[in-house]
Structure 1
Amino acid sequence: MTDPLLPILQAAAEVFLSRPALAGEEHDRDRFVSDRRQMILDAVATLPALRDRIRERLHTPRNRSDVEALATLILSTDDATVRAALRLAEQLDRERLAQHTLRKRYQNKVHELQSRLETAKGRHQHAAAALETARHAVTELEKRVDELDTQVSALQDRLRDPRVLAANLLGLLQQPSQEHDEGPETRDPRNHGQQDRPAPLAALAAHAAGIDPERFLTALQTLITPRPTRPRVTVVQERRLRVHPLGGASEIGGSCLLVEAGGTRLLVDAGLRPGDPALPPRDIDEALSGPIHAVVVTHAHTDHCGYVPALVDRYPELRVIATSETALLMPQMWTDSAKLMGERERLHRQWGSYGEALYRRGSVEAAARRCEELPYGVECLIGDVTVELFPAGHILGAAGVVVRAGSQRIVVTGDISGFRQETVDGYAIPRSAREADLLVMESTCCAEDHAPRETRVNDLVRAVEEVYAGGGRVLIPAFALGRAQELALIMRTHLPHIPVLVDGMAATIASSFERITAQHPSPLRIFGGNVSRAQDMRKPMPFTSGVVITTSGMLTGGPVIQWAAEILPEPHSALFLSGYQDEESAGAKLLRLVKEQASHLTVNDHGIERNIPLNARIDMMRLSAHADKRGLLEIADEVGARQVMLVHGLSRRQRDFHKILQIRGHGFAATGPWA
C-alpha cells in the first residue's frame, strides 16, 4: 500500500521548487517531500492558493478511486474539509506504515522459516544419501559375505576329499621353492623345459618325511588317480577317442567339447553364449542325451564355464575339474551370471515375455562344491580316460588339456597365449602333448597379426597420458576377469602419477586375484599407489581426473553405462575399447558410429534407452590375451599333432587359416565330429 498523500505532496513540492527564491539551485522533489513533509501539509491546510496550484498540476491515477476521492477532499476550497481530510490521510498513512512493518516482519519470518526448511532439507538429503550409501555398502558386504560363504563351503567339502587334498599338496610341492626364485622370468614355464626331477619343495618335504622323493610323489599321484584293483577286459576299439564340438566351434562363445572313450563321456568347457537371457552351448542337447562323468574347465571366463551350474543341476555327482585358481574364480563368475539372469527374468516377466534363468544361487553353491583342483602336470583318471592340465597363459589359472585313452591323445588348447602379461606367463606345452593325434586349437585371432605386446602397451600408455595432460578423463571398458586386472597393473606400473579407479565386478575380481596369489612366489598387487577401488559405482561424478576401468567390456550393461554417460560428452576425454567386440554389442555399434561420424550413441540401461552425446575421443586399443596368427602357428608346430581342428573362431577366418596350416604340413580336421 502506497502513501495516499504522496501525489499531493509531490505536486506541492513542485510548486515550492518553482518559486523564484529557489531558482538556479539543484533540488530533488522526492527528497524535498521527505525532508519538509509536515511543512508542506501545513501549507496545504492554510493556503487555498497553494491548493489551486496543486489541482492544476495534479494528475491522479484513474484506477485508484480512493486516492481520487481523498485528493478531492484535501484540495477542497473549504478549510475545515481540508483539515479533516488531512487528518484522515495521516491516519491512513499510519495504518500503511503499520501494515508495512507487519509485512516486513512477516516476510522476515517467512524467510527465516524457509531458511530453516532448506537447512532441514539439506540435512535430510545428506542423511538420506548417507543412509543409501550405508545400505549400498551393506548390500555389497552381504554379497561379498555370500560369495565367501559359498567359497568356504565349497572349500570345506573339497577338503574332505582325499583326492583333492593330494592334488593340492602335489601342486604345492611341484612349485619351485622361493629360495630359488630369481624373478618373474625364471618363473615363466616357457623359459625352461619340463623337469623330470622332483621340484625343490617336493624334495624337501620327502626328505623331512624320510622317504624317497620319487616314491613320495608316486604315492600322492596314486591317491589322485587310483589304479584299478582288478584287471578289466576292455576292447581297444571302445577306448578310441571321439570328439564332438557342441559349442564355440565356428563362433566365439558357448565353448563346449564332448570327448568320449569307452564308456566315459566328459566335456571340456561348458560356456554360455551371449544373449538375452544367456544361452547354453549351441548343441548341448547331444551331450545331455546320455551320462556325463566330468567337465574339465580350461578357465573361468563365462563363455567357457558359465553353463556348469546348470550341468550340476542335471548331474548332481558331476566332477568339475580345473586348476586351483579357476576353481576359486568360477563361483564368483557364476554368482554374477545368476544375478544377471535373475534380473533379466524379472524384466521379461514385467513385459509378459519368456526368459527363464538357466540357474539360480543354489545351483552355484552346488557347482562350487563339485570343483576338484588339479595342478598343472598331474594326471587325473576319469573312467576310461586320463586328463592332464598345462599352462595356457591367457588369464590367471587358464589351462590347456591333454586327454588320453589307450594309445590315443588329443590336446585342447582352450584360450591360449604365448606372451608374458602382467598377471600371467605364457603357455608351456608339456611332453605329453607332443605328436598327439588331434590338436583342438582356438582361432579367435587366427586372421590377425598383432604388434609386439610391448608396442601395444606403449601405445595405450601414450594415449592415456595425452588425454590426462589435456585435462580429460579416460574410460576403459574391460572384461571383468583378466583384462581389467591387466589394465590396472599396466596403469600402476607405467603411469603411477595418474589416478586409476577400478569399478564394478572388475574390482571384485581384482581383490580375488590378490587373495588367490597371496601365497604364490610372485603375488599380484593390484590395488595401492595410484590404483583404488570405486566406492559407489552409482556416483562417478566426484572422479574428475584420471582413468576408470569398469565392466562390461562390450558396453552391454553394468557401471560402464553410467560412466559413459558422464565421460563421452566431454570433448577432452576419451573412451578406449580394449578387446573383442561382438557384432551385436554396443561396443561394436559405437565403433561403427565413430566411422559414420554420428553424434549420439543409444544404449540400453536396465530396459531404458539412453542417448549419449559422442564428443570424446573413441579408439580401439587391442590388448588381446589370445595368440595371433603367428602364435597359433607356433603352437601347432610345437605340438606337432597328426591333425588340427579349429574352434572358438569365425568360420570364414578359420577356412583361410586352415589353408595356411596345410601349406605348413599340418593335417586337416574339419570343425565337427572326429574319431
Structure 2
Amino acid sequence: MSGDADAALSAVLHAVAEVVLTRPHQAGLARDPERMVTEQAKILRRALERVPGVRARVAELLAERSLPDRAEPYVTLLVHPDAEVVRAGLALCDAAGNHQRDRAAARTAERLERKVADLRSRLERAEGRLDHAQRETAEKDRRLAEVGEALAEYEERLADLEDRQGIERLRWKDPHALAAALLGILEPLPPKPRDDAASRDPRPHRTGVTAASAKTTEHIAASRDRYLEDVARTVKLDRNRLLEVLRAMVDPTPPREPAPATARELDLRITPLGGGTEIGGSCLLVEAGDSRLLVDAGLVPRDGAPPSGIDRALAGPLHGVVVTHAHNDHCGYVPALVARRPDLRVLATPETVQLMPVMWADTVKVTRGRDRLWSEWGATSAAHFGYAEVRAAVGRCEEVPFGARRRIGDLTIELFPAGHILGAAGVVIRAGDRRAVVTGDISGFVQESVDGYRLPESATGADLLVMESTCCGENHGDRTGRVHELIRSVAEICEGGGRVLIPAFALGRAQEVALVLRRHLPDVPVRIDGMATDLAHLFESATAGSDRPLEIFGGAVAVADRPRELETFRTGVIVSTSGMLNGGPAVQWARHILPEPGSALFVSGYQDEESPGAELLRLAGQGGGEFALMDRDEKISLRVLAKVATMRLSAHADRGGLLEIADGVAAADVMLVHGLAGRQRRFAEVLRHRGHRVVRTGEWRAG
C-alpha cells in the first residue's frame, strides 16, 4: 500500500511541476519537472494544497495518463476540489511513506544485525581457532621441551656409560686395582654364616630358591678353586704364594712386630665425624696405633655438605675408607677425599664398587645444575668434586667380598651382609684383640632385591657395636602385609583403567618396588624411568652368575619411553626418580597424573619436611586442592584429583630388628648413630633395660 501512495504522490507532484512551469512568473524556478520534484517538493505541495486551479489542471493531465489502479484513490484525494481533503490525502501519503521507510529501515537494521551477529560469530570462531592454535603451540612447545630434555638425558646417559667404560678400562690397568680384583676372585672365603633371615621374616616362596642357591654357591666355590689353580699354574707360583703376593700388593704396609702388649698399645679409638645424632653425612674415624681409616664418608642430604668433622680425619695420615654401601649419605664425599689423599684405599663390596660411580656422577650433574642457578645470584660453586675426581676415586676402589679380610696397617676389616640394599655391608674391625662392629644401614628381613643381614662369628662379643638407629622409634609390623597393601592398591587403580606413579629413590627403593610388582602383578605394565633405570641394569649385571641373580626387566617391566608415554601409557605403574618430587622425571609424570581422577600417586619413602612430596601428602590429608610443582624452572599449579597415599617399604631395621642385632652381637658397649637424638635417648633406655651398656655418641676408646 505504501508503494501505491508514493506512486500517486510522485505522479501528482510531477504534474504540479509541469503546471507551475507553464506560468510565466515562475521563470526563476528549475525548468526540469524531475529536478523540481526533487529540489522543490515543498513548493509543489503548497501549490497543490492552496491553488484549486492547479488541482484542476493536474486532474486533467493525469486523466490522460495511465496510473496503477491502486494509486487512483490517492490521486483522487490529492486533486480533490476541497483543500481539506487534499491535506488529508497528503497526510495519508506521508504516513504511508513513513511506514514504508520505517519498514525499510527495520529491514536494513535487521540485515545489519544479522550481519553483525554473523561477523561476531565468525570473530568468535576465529578467536577460538586462535586460542586453540596458541594452546596447541604451547603444548607443542612443552612437548618439544620434553623431547629435548629426554634427548639430553639420553645423550648424558650415553656419555656416562662411555665414561664408565673408560674408567673400567683404566682401572684394570692399575696394578693395585687389578691385584685387589684378582684377590677378590681367587681368595678362598670362609663358609657363609648361618642365615636366619627366614626366622625374622618368613617367606614361603623362598624355600625353593634356597636349595638352588646352595647349589649355585657350591658351584661358585668350585669355580673359584679352579681359577686359583689355573692362575697359579700360569704364573708358575704355588697357590698360597700367589695369594701372599696379591695380598702384599693390595696392602703393602708391613705388619707391626708382635709384642706382648700389642693389643693394649694399639688403643682402638672410634669417633663419629658425621651422622651421629642426625641422618646423613655418615662418617666414623677408626684409629689404632699409627693407622687411621674411615668407615663411610657421606654427604648431608638436605644441603650436600660433607661430614661435619671431616677436617679432623684430614688433620693426620689417612690410609683408607671402608664404604658400607652406595647411598650418597654414606659414600658421597669419597671422591673429594681421594682428591686430597690420592693414595687413599677405597674398600667396598663388588656390588657397591659398581654402583658408587653412578651415584658420584649424578652428584656432579646435580651440583653443576645448582651452581648454574646460584651463579645468577653471584654465589660461588658448592661442588666438592668433578668428573676428574670421580675417575680418580674409581681407580682407587678395591672389591672386598663378604667374609674376606683386608689389612690396613694395624687394622683388619671384614665385611658381612647387612641387607638394606644390594651390596650393603656391615664391618668387623680388629686392632689386636680388640673388635668393633659397625652395622652401616642394616635390615633383617628378606627383600626381593637382597636378603637380610648375616652376622659372622667374628662379630659376637665385640668390644663395641656401632649401630644405626634410623627407625629405632618405629615398629614396622609385618612386611608381607605392607607389600600386600601396595599390591592391592596398585591392582585396584589399574583394574579401573588408571595409572600409578611411585616416586622412588634411585638406588634400592626403585628396584625393590619394580621387583615386587613383577612378582605379584606380572601382567601389569611397569615402566622404570630416570637414574633408577641405569641402576636397575647394574643390579642385573652385578648379580649375574651369583647365587641370587636379579631380573628386573622383562615380562611387563620395561624402560619408560618418555616423553611419548607421558600421554600414551594409560594403565600401569611408573617407578621414577626423584623420590621426593623435587626433580627428575617423576615431576613430569606427576604433572600428567595428578589431575587424573582415576589414577594415583603413592609416596614410597621418607619425605623431607620442605620437599614437594611432603607438601603433597599434607594437601591430600586436608582433602586435596591446588598443588604447586616445579617442572624445569617453571612453576605449575595442578588440581589434584588423583589418589595420593603413602606406601612404606622401609629398608631399615625397626626397633625390634635393632634389638635383635644388639642381642646377637652382645657387645660390651653399644653406640647409636645415624638417627635422631630424641629417639636415640628413648631407645637407649630400652637397650639398658635389656642389659646392654649404651655409651654416648662420641669418641670411644677400648677400655
Whichever residue aligns with residue 367 of structure 1, its letter is A
Greater Rg, structure 1 or structure 2? 2
Residue 607 of structure 1 deviates from its aligned partner by: 4.4
Alignment pair present for 1:270 and 2:297: yes
Q: Which moved more, 1:461-470 or 1:534-543?
A: 534-543
CA 1:642–1:470: 2 relative to 1, 3 Å: same
Residue 239 (1) aligns with residue 255 (2)? no
Deviations 1:215-256 (A, max 9, x none): 886776566556837847786544111111111111111111
Residues 624-643 of structure 1: per-residue CA shift (max 9 Å, x gap)? 11111111111111111101
In the aligned structure 2, how far is the partner of 1:229 from the partner of 1:633?
37
Residue equivalent to 2:112: none
CA contact (8 A) 1:259 1:267 kept: yes
Aligned to 2:396: 370
Q: What is the alpha-carbon distance in structure 2 between the residues aligned to residue 265 and residue 187 of structure 1? A: 42
Q: Is the 8 A contact 1:376 1:390 kept in 2?
A: yes
How far is the alpha carbon of 1:63 from its aligned partner? 12
Structure-2 residue corresponding to 1:256: 283
Deviation at 1:595, TM superposition (A): 2.7
Q: What is the DSSP-based 3-state SS (H/G/I as helix, E as strand, rest coil) of the residue aligned with 2:500?
A: strand
CA distance in 2, matches of 1:488, 1:253: 26
Find the counterpart in structure 1 of residue 352 from structure 2.
Answer: 326
Counterpart CA distance in 2 for 1:214 and 1:453 is 46
Measured in 2, the distance between the counterparts of 1:476 and 1:541 equals 17
Is the 8 Å Cα contact of residues 171 and 375 (structure 1) preserved in structure 2?
no
The one-letter code of the counterpart of 2:643 is R
The amino acid of 1:399's aligned partner reads A
Gaps of 5+ in 1: 1-7, 13-45, 66-113
In the alignment of these two chains, the number of paired residues is: 576
Q: Distance in 2 between matches of 1:133 and 1:227?
A: 50
Q: Is the 8 A contact 1:476 1:548 kept in 2?
A: yes
Q: How many Å separate the matches in 2 of 1:360 and 1:50? A: 108
Counterpart residue number, 2:126:
none
Report the CA distance shift for 1:579/1:125 in structure 2 as closer, same or farther (over 3 A).
Answer: closer
| 2:425 partner letter | A
Partners of 2:542 and 2:66 lie apart in 1 by 106
Q: How far off its partner does 1:141 sit? A: 4.8
Taking the aligned partners of 1:329 and 1:559, their CA distance within structure 2 comes to 21
* 1:459 and 2:485 correspond: yes
1:49 matched residue in structure 2: 68
Alpha-carbon separation, structure 2, partners of 1:337 and 1:402? 29
- Offset from partner CA, 1:270-300 (integer Å, 9 cap, x none): 1111234x21112222222222211110000
Task: Give per-residue Cα distances to partners, 1:400-447, cap 9 Å, x unaligned.
Answer: 011111111100000111111111111111111111100000111111
8 Å CA contact 1:175–1:199 kept in 2: the answer is no
SS at match of 1:395: coil
Q: Secondary structure at the match of 2:414?
A: strand
- Residue type of the alignment partner of 1:252: I
Equivalent of 2:164 in 144, 148, 152? 148
Q: Is the CA contact 1:575–1:618 (under 8 Å) kept in the aligned structure 2?
A: yes
Could you say if the C-alpha distance between residues 362 and 407 of structure 1 is closer, same or farther in structure 2, counting changes exceeding 3 Å?
A: same
Corresponding residue of 1:317: 343
Decide whether aligned partners of structure 1 residues 519 and 202 sit closer, same or farther in structure 2, where only a CA change above 3 A counts: closer
SS in 2 for 1:414: coil
State the one-letter code of the partner of 1:185.
Answer: T
Contact 2:263 2:433 in 1 (8 A): no
Bigger mean CA deviation after superposition, 576-585 or 155-164: 155-164
- Aligned residue for 2:60? none
Q: Is the CA contact 1:203–1:213 (under 8 Å) kept in the aligned structure 2?
A: no
527-536 vs 346-355, which moves further: 346-355
Whether the 8 Å CA contact 2:265–2:289 is kept in 1: the answer is yes
2:562 corresponding residue in structure 1: 536
C-alpha distance after superposition, 1:100-133 (max 9, x if no partner) = xxxxxxxxxxxxxx9xx99xx99x9999799848
Please state how far the C-alpha of 1:153 moved relative to its aligned partner: 3.8
Q: Do the aligned residues in 1 keep the contact of 2:187 with 2:243 (CA within 8 Å)?
A: no
- TM-score, normalised via structure 2 length: 0.73
1:601/1:612 contact within 8 Å kept? yes
Alpha-carbon contact 1:374-1:389 (below 8 Å) kept: yes
| Cα distance in 1 between the residues matched to 2:66 and 2:549 | 106
Cα separation, 2, equivalents of 1:130 and 1:484: 22
Mapping for residues 434-473 of structure 1, pairs under 5 Å: 434-473=460-499
Residue 343, structure 1, aligned to residue 362, structure 2:
no
Indicate the SS of the match to 2:700: coil
Alpha-carbon offset, residue 352 of structure 1: 3.0
Q: Which residue of 2 aligns with 1:184?
A: 209
**Is 1:201 matched with 2:201?**
no
- 1:304 paired residue number: 330
Q: Report how far residue 603 of structure 1 moved.
A: 3.7
More deviation, 597-606/649-658? 597-606
Q: Percent identity?
A: 49
Do the aligned residues in 2 keep the contact of 1:442 with 1:648 (CA within 8 Å)? yes
- Provide the residue aligned with 1:139 in structure 2: 155
* Other structure's SS at 1:548 match: strand
Match for 2:529 among 503, 513, 518?
503
Name the TM-score, length of structure 1 as normaliser: 0.76
**Aligned residue in 2 for 1:429:** 455
State the secondary structure of the residue aligned to 1:541.
helix
Q: What letter is aligned with 2:186?
A: L
Tell me, in whole angstroms, the C-alpha distance in 1 between the residues paired with 2:143 and 2:328: 39
- Cα distance in 2 for residues equivalent to 1:491 and 1:604: 29
Distance in 2, Cα, partners of 1:173 & 1:640 = 25
Q: 1:396 aligns with which of 413, 419, 422?
A: 422
SS of the residue corresponding to residue 270 of structure 1 reads coil
User: By how many angstroms is 1:455 displaced?
Assistant: 1.4
- DSSP 3-state at the match of 1:502: strand
Task: Answer yes or no: is 1:163 the counterpart of 2:189.
Answer: no
**Judging changes above 3 Å, is the alpha-carbon distance between structure 1 residues 253 and 188 closer, same or farther for their aligned structure 2 residues?**
farther
Hey, what's the Cα distance between the residues in 1 that align with 2:602 and 2:186? Answer: 42
